[in-house]
């Protein structure tokens, strides 16, 4: 516990001159006290970097890395892991809306038991296509769903549902939800998911919205989600990671 870890990834978004920015950030890291974190559009220092001090998390996170972005978003992943640690002790299932390759789900399951993860974890996505214009991700083509399913072959509690949210909820949807991660990159889809699922989140359950605190193309999510939550007496915690967190009561 007397060790302070540094973290630096050169994966960020919205930078006009990546080479110059990289050189500047390398220099900035050399000028600050220990415990710096760089990556995923975050630069901070003098932090504990708790994620990197949690051996179970490190194993789960590193065992699931598939690309640079997965590496850079370690702090976001640790928010999910800590939320899951809390929610696994509640009544209700786990849900992720927007699964892509399944790394978000699998990191959480591996943190809390791997194939013995104790809760049913529902994952909803169109998988082979991406309904968000301009957001198609690598690999989203025919056969992609089967590949993601294969990743969970040894995880009997994972239930992946292929289809468009909210229509796909008709294929199966838990009555009680302890953990809800919404990561659809668009406000229409996220609000449609909230309309169905938010009332099913149990008291003490946690909702994490991956892009809530990101601006730019993601800003409509905050703009549309704030009034939706305010109307229900909730205020979203805007996290420095870019996520938004809601504690259900
Ligand atoms: C950013 S990715 C999810 C990443 C994943 N949560 C993780 O942590 O690794 C967003 C996904 O949302 C899916 N998606 C977006 N809108 C959707 C909708 N209305 N119904 C189903 N899937 C949707 C896309 O196909 C894409 O795979």
Which tens digits make up the pLDDT trace of 98-136? 999 999 999 999 999 999 999 999 999 999 999 998 888
Q: Please give the span between the terminal C-alpha atoms of the chain, in angstroms, as a whole number.
A: 34
| Antiparallel, parallel or unpaired: β 42-44 and 37-39 | antiparallel
The predicted pLDDT at position 135 comes to 85
| Antiparallel, parallel or unpaired: β 93-97 and 7-8 | unpaired
3-state secondary structure of 230: helix
Helix/strand/coil percent split, the chain, to 5? 40, 20, 45
pLDDT at 241 exceeding the cut of 80: yes
Mean pLDDT computed over 34-52: 96
Mean pLDDT computed over 231-245: 98
**Dist. CA 128 → ligand 1 center (Å):** 11
CA 242/CA 185 separation, integer angstroms: 12
Mean pLDDT of the residues in the chain? 96
The predicted pLDDT at position 134 comes to 83
**Dist. CA 36 → ligand 1 center (Å):** 30
The predicted pLDDT at position 234 comes to 98
Q: How confident is the model at residue 1 (pLDDT cuts 50, 70, 90)?
A: low
Cβ of residue 108 lying under 6 Å from some atom of ligand 1: no
Q: How confident is the model at residue 95 (pLDDT cuts 50, 70, 90)?
A: very high
Mean pLDDT computed over 197-222: 97
Comparison of pLDDT for 3 and 185, the residue scoring more: 185
Cβ of residue 189 lying under 6 Å from some atom of ligand 1: yes
pLDDT at 57 exceeding the cut of 90: yes
**Dist. CA 185 → ligand 1 center (Å):** 7
pLDDT at 194 exceeding the cut of 80: yes
Q: How confident is the model at residue 3 (pLDDT cuts 50, 70, 90)?
A: confident
What are the start-end ranges of the E strands in 27-120? 37-39, 42-44, 93-97
Which numeric CATH code is attached to 67-247?
A: 3.40.50.150
Q: Which atom of ligand 1 is nearest to the CA of 210?
A: 6
The predicted pLDDT at position 130 comes to 95
Cβ of residue 138 lying under 6 Å from some atom of ligand 1: no
Q: Is the pTM of this model over 0.95?
A: yes
Kindly list the domain boundaries of the chain, sorted by start residue. 7-44, 67-247
**Dist. CA 121 → ligand 1 center (Å):** 16
**Dist. CA 226 → ligand 1 center (Å):** 21
């Amino acid at each position: 516990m007397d060790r302070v870890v540094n973290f630096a990834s050169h994966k960020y978004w919205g930078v006009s001159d990546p080479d110059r920015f990289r050189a500047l950030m390398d220099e900035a890291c050399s000028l600050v006290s220990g415990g710096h974190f760089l990556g995923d559009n975050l630069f901070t220092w003098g932090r504990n970097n708790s994620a990197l001090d949690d051996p179970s998390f490190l194993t789960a996170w590193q065992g699931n890395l598939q690309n640079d972005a997965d590496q850079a978003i370690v702090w976001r992943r640790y928010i999910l892991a800590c939320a899951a640690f809390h929610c696994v002790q509640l009544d209700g299932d786990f849900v992720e809306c927007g699964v892509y390759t399944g790394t978000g789900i699998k990191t959480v399951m591996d943190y809390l038991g791997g194939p013995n993860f104790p809760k049913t974890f529902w994952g909803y996505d169109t998988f082979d296509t991406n309904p968000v214009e301009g957001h198609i991700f690598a690999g989203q083509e025919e056969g992609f769903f089967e590949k993601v399913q294969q990743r969970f072959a040894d995880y009997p509690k994972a239930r992946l549902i292929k289809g468009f949210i909210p229509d796909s909820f008709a294929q199966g949807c838990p009555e009680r939800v302890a953990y809800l991660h919404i990561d659809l990159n668009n406000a229409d889809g996220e609000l449609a998911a909230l309309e169905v699922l938010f009332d099913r989140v149990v008291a003490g359950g946690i909702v994490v919205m991956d892009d809530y605190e990101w601006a730019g193309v993601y800003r409509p999510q905050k703009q549309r989600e704030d009034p939706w939550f305010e109307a229900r007496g909730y205020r979203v915690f805007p996290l420095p990671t870019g996520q938004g967190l809601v504690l259900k009561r």
